[in-house]
């Protein structure tokens, strides 16, 4: 990830792979360190409580605790996996596909060791929060019908088999980074991987009882709105924090993130208003998240006008993809993970190759690498999108099949009717 900022003009990732373990002589920047400490807290805030409340409000009341429990448990699980081997495989020197095992249990991460100009402990923790939220996003694809044991086993395997390798490909000195893929804060690493895995989950598990025939409305949109606001605020840490510095890159990333979110929200609302006669609260927050997810890979490369276009495209395309997934293809991606995060990640990664150019007048970004034309950059972006999509789909499918053989994926029809709060956790969300 460091290469996105060490050499802004070249936009090369080749310098990144060996950056952790710099000596104290290179100097600690307290301002940058303080900002990334803050950004780390903001990204964790996105999952707990942001995503937990956002998703929790979208399910039926009999399943709200199951969503909250899954978010909390995945946070704990991902944190320990990152400590044991995840960080080492993602960011240690290895090959083009995966990092090495030199940093198991963070053996080389000391109080005084630096990554760039900040303590390596801060970088480890910042990246850990990304490893936490990515598998947490996936639970929206199988909400209200999966065993808790299956969630935990799948999440552990998926982090190691999908998230960690793709992180190394893009940010850890791997082959996509070496090609010059533009992914500032996680279009491929976070949103495409999570969105595709959620789509695979929905296909493998099948729809919820009553899907397509019985209304399955959110039980608490107030909770969802609260979580959405937390996501919006936390996303500034997600994107602006990915500058790994308190500088103009971070400031621009924050600005374009906000503009894309606002545009996505209004675009989705206007489409609903025209199509259905009234704009919905659920549509407004969904459009906002679509704008946030779509700007993520481009946030460090584009300018304000380009961000508005990205948010506009996100609102339009993600809206119609959401309708198509449920109504045309009859896929019960329960909380719209693929049409919002997956499609948004694809759009944003692609458009980063366009709006990063400094030759678009008002819509110009910070510039492509020297000698690289938009068409050349788009080829790299498409390769990154296709490789991430295909790898995630195949591995996620295999992992779901393995977990199904181990513990079974889906609860019984009777348990699903009763609700996962009681059947999986012996508790209820509301006792009124």
* Token pair for 341: 């995060």
pLDDT at 10: 36
Q: What is the pLDDT of residues 220-245, one digit of tens each?
A: 999 999 999 999 999 999 999 999 99
Q: What is the pTM of this model?
A: 0.94
**How buried is 111 (Cβ within 10 angstroms: 0-12 exposed, 13-18 middle, 19+ buried)?**
exposed
**Three-class SS string for 172-207?**
CCCHHHHHCCCCCCCHHHHHHHHHHHHHHHHHHHCC
CB 349 within 8 A of CB 183: yes
- What pLDDT sits at residue 82? 98
HSE of 312, CA atoms in CB hemisphere, 13 A: 6
Res 431: pLDDT: 85
- Extract the tokens encoding 428: 């209820």
Residues of the chain whose pLDDT is less than 70? 1-26
Please choose, from the candidates 373, 259, 293, 394, the residue with its C-alpha nearest in 3D space to the C-alpha of residue 381. 373
- The pLDDT value recorded for residue 26 is 56
pLDDT tens-digit map of 384-393: 999 999 999 9
Quick one: tokens of 285?
Answer: 């927050």
- Contact predicate 192/138, CB 8 Å: no
Alpha-carbon gap, residue 165 to 191, rounded angstroms: 15
Classify 119 as helix, strand or coil.
Answer: strand
Give buried/exposed letters for 384-423 (b at 16+ CB in 10 A, else e).
Answer: bbebbbebbbebbbebbeebbeeeebbbeeeebeebbbeb
Q: How many residues does the chain have?
A: 432
**222: burial class by Cβ within 10 Å (0-12, 13-18, 19+)?**
exposed
pLDDT at position 7, please? 37
- Largest Cα–Cα distance in the chain? 66
């Amino acid at each position: 990830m460091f290469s996105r900022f060490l050499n802004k003009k070249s936009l090369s990732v080749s310098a990144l792979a060996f950056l952790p373990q710099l000596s104290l002589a290179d100097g600690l920047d307290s301002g940058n360190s303080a900002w990334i400490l803050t950004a780390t807290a903001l990204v964790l805030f996105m999952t707990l409580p942001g995503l937990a409340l956002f998703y929790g409000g979208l399910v039926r009341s009999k399943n709200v605790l199951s969503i909250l429990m899954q978010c909390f448990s995945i946070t704990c699980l991902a944190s320990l996996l990152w400590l044991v081997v995840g960080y080492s495989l993602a960011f240690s020197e290895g090959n083009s596909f995966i990092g090495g095992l030199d940093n198991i249990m963070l053996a080389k991460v000391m109080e005084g060791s630096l990554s760039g100009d900040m303590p390596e402990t801060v970088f480890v923790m910042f990246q850990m929060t990304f490893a936490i939220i990515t598998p947490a996003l996936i639970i929206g694809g199988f909400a209200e019908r999966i065993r808790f044991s299956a969630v935990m086993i799948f999440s552990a395997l998926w982090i190691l088999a999908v998230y960690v390798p793709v992180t190394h490909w893009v940010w850890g000195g791997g082959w996509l980074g070496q090609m010059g893929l533009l992914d500032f804060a996680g279009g491929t690493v976070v949103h495409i991987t999570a969105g595709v895995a959620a789509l695979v989950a929905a296909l493998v598990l099948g729809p919820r009882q009553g899907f397509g025939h019985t209304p399955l409305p959110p039980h608490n949109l107030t909770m969802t709105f609260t979580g959405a606001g937390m996501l919006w605020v936390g996303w500034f840490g997600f994107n602006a924090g990915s500058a790994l510095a308190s500088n103009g890159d971070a400031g621009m990333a924050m600005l374009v993130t906000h503009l894309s979110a606002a545009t996505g929200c209004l675009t989705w609302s206007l489409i609903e208003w025209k199509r259905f006669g009234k704009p919905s609260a659920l549509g407004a927050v969904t459009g906002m998240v679509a704008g946030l997810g779509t700007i993520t890979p481009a946030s460090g490369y584009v300018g304000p006008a380009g961000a508005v276009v990205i948010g506009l495209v996100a609102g339009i395309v993600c809206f119609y993809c959401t309708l198509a997934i449920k109504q045309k293809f009859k896929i019960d991606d329960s909380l719209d993970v693929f049409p919002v995060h997956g499609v948004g990640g694809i759009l944003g990664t692609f458009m980063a190759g366009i709006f990063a150019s400094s030759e678009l007048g008002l819509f110009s970004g910070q510039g492509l690498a020297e000698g690289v034309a938009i068409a050349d950059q788009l080829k790299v972006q498409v390769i990154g999108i296709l490789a991430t999509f295909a790898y995630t789909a195949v591995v996620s499918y295999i992992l779901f099949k393995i977990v199904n053989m181990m513990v079974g994926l889906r609860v019984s029809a009777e348990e699903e009717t009763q609700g996962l709060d009681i059947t999986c956790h012996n508790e209820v969300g509301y006792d009124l």
